[in-house]
């Protein structure tokens, strides 16, 4: 259902379980998936220094690769609107003007820490 892009509300209806149970199951799947790929250490360092949420750090890693919102949504099993919000918040926290500047910003961040 996650790969089909169903909302949690739609999953509740289809599965016939509570919102809490759907949320718990979705979180468990996301947690397992997030452990499957390791991020660039620079992304982890930025996450700690700038107090990023786990999802913002995940999105940062995707932006580092130049991923579109649609591909980020698919990869992280999020709605496109949620991705848009995470990108906006992330750019604001890091004081980056545009998403296309993220790879260069991370490179400069890494160079400054050496």
For residue 76, give its domain range.
Answer: 39-113
Are residues 66 and 94 both part of a single domain?
yes
Distance CA 17, CA 94 (A): 39
Interatomic CA distance for residues 59 and 112, integer angstroms? 22
Task: Tell me the HSE value of 109 on the side-chain side, using a 13 A CA sphere.
Answer: 20
- Average pLDDT of the chain? 87
**Per-residue model confidence (pLDDT) at position 87:** 97
Number of domains within the chain: 2
pLDDT, tens only, 41-98: 899 899 999 999 989 999 999 999 999 999 999 888 889 999 999 999 999 999 999 9
Residue 28 shares a structural domain with residue 50: no
Do 53 and 27 share a domain, yes or no?
no
Residue 95 and residue 47 share a domain:
yes
The CATH code of the domain that includes 56 is 1.10.10.10
- Percent of the chain past pLDDT 70, that is, above it, reads 90
Question: 37 pLDDT exceeds 60?
Answer: no
Which residues 6+ apart lie within 8 Å of 86 measured at CB?
A: 55, 56, 59, 78
Return the half-sphere exposure (C-beta side, CA atoms, 13 A cut-off) of residue 108: 7
19 shares its domain with 52: no
Statement to judge: residues 98 and 47 lie in one domain: yes
- Looking at the fold, whether 13 and 29 belong to one and the same domain comes out as yes
Go through 86-95 and write b for each residue having 16 or more CB atoms within 10 A of its CB, e for each that does not.
bbeebbeebe
**59, 87 Cβ separation under 8 angstroms:** yes
């Amino acid at each position: 259902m996650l790969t089909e892009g169903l909302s949690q509300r739609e999953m509740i209806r289809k599965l016939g379980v509570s919102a809490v149970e759907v949320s718990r199951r979705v979180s468990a799947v996301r947690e397992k998936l997030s452990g499957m790929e390791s991020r660039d250490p620079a992304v982890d360092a930025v996450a700690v220094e700038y107090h990023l949420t786990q999802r913002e750090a995940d999105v940062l890693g995707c932006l580092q690769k130049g991923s579109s919102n649609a591909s980020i949504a698919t990869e992280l099993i999020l709605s496109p609107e949620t991705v848009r919000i995470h990108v906006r918040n992330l750019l604001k926290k890091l004081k980056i003007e545009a998403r296309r500047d993220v790879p260069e910003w991370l490179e400069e961040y890494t160079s400054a820490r050496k």
